[in-house]
Amino acid sequence: MEILVVKAGLPRSAVTADPGATMSDVDLDSLAYLQLRVEIEDRHGIEIGEEYAKATFGELVRLVNEGLSEHAR
């Protein structure tokens, strides 16, 4: 979630208030999603497919957490 706040410039309340919210719900466009995706992939070594462009914040957090768990094994 910190990446969403720092890199995407979203207020923390927008990210944490509704884990069911999508990028478009908080007015992030496809370029912002791409930048966010690259940042997550570079920082955590987790591949995020294009199919997650319309994912909710909760789904993205779950994906990152699962990826981190996989790398820890």
What is the per-residue pLDDT across 20-51, written as a single tens digit (0 to 9) for each? 888 888 787 888 888 888 888 888 888 888 88
Q: What is the CATH number of the domain that holds 29?
A: 1.10.1200.10
Q: Which residues of 26-37 are buried (b: 16+ CB within 10 A; e: fewer)?
A: bebeeebbeebb
**Tally of domains within the chain:** 1
Give residue 15's domain range. Answer: 2-72
| Percentage above 90 pLDDT, the chain | 0
Residue tagged 């791409």 (tokens)? 34
pTM of the predicted model, to two decimals? 0.71
